[in-house]
């Protein structure tokens, strides 16, 4: 598989920064799971040494918000010593050992609403990338 070295910036359509590589080039191997497939497909289209911007609709990027991925859970389903706060990411493990990350959206007494959608689901995004090297 090809290994890439690049700079990137991912923003909401309104310009708010979602993620970026910063001043240090990001290195990854295509298909290794570090980047979402929608971003990998943009990188495959990009040219080495050229700063390019890809505008992705929510359907092209991280998909729509799925109501069934928003769960109301009882406080007793969380560790007793866990500090529960809105906008906190929480990792849950299934009985099979799979891990899922959700974001706490709402706290109402003992009912805690956890959103398991991708944080950028339902958002149009801009993905700016400059590939430095492909090995």
The CATH number covering residue 57 comes to 3.10.50.40
Q: Are residues 125 and 108 in the same domain?
A: no
Average pLDDT, the chain: 94
Q: How does pLDDT run across 68-80, given as a tens digit for each residue?
A: 999 999 999 998 9
Q: How does pLDDT run across 7-61, given as a tens digit for each residue?
A: 999 999 888 999 999 999 999 999 999 999 999 999 999 999 999 999 999 999 9
Residues 6+ apart with CB under 8 A from 115: 69, 70, 102, 103, 104, 105
Q: How many domains does the chain have?
A: 2
Q: Are residues 8 and 59 in the same domain?
A: yes
The CATH number covering residue 110 comes to 2.40.10.330
pLDDT number for residue 13: 85
In which domain, by residue range, is 29 found?
3-63+120-134
Give bridge partners of residue 70 from the DSSP assignment.
115
pLDDT number for residue 53: 97
- How far is Cα 18 from Cα 122, in angstroms, rounded to an integer? 14
Q: Are residues 80 and 125 in the same domain?
A: no
pLDDT number for residue 130: 98
Q: Are residues 80 and 53 in the same domain?
A: no
Q: Are residues 26 and 44 in the same domain?
A: yes
Q: Are residues 52 and 40 in the same domain?
A: yes
Q: Are residues 9 and 27 in the same domain?
A: yes
pLDDT number for residue 100: 87
- What confidence tier does 95 reach under pLDDT thresholds 50, 70, 90? confident
pLDDT of residue 97 exceeding 90, the answer is: no
Residues 6+ apart with CB under 8 A from 80: none
Q: Write the DSSP assignment of 42-55 as a string of letters.
A: HHHHSPBT-EEEEE
pLDDT of residue 108 exceeding 90, the answer is: yes
Least confident of 22-36, 46-60, 90-104, 121-135: 90-104
Tokens of 29: 């191997």
Q: Are residues 20 and 71 in the same domain?
A: no
């Amino acid at each position: 598989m090809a290994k890439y070295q690049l700079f990137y910036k991912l923003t909401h359509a309104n310009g708010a920064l979602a993620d970026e590589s910063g001043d240090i080039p990001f290195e990854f191997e295509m298909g290794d799971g570090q980047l979402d497939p929608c971003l990998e497909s943009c990188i495959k289209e990009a040219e080495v040494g050229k700063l390019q911007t890809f505008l992705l609709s929510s359907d092209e990027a991280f998909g729509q918000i799925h109501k069934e991925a928003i769960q109301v859970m009882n406080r007793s389903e969380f560790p007793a010593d866990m500090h529960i706060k809105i906008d906190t990411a929480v990792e849950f493990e299934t009985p099979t050992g799979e891990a899922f990350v959700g974001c706490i959206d709402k706290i109402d007494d003992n009912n805690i609403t956890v959103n398991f959608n991708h944080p950028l689901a339902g958002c149009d995004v801009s993905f700016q990338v400059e590939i430095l090297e492909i090995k």
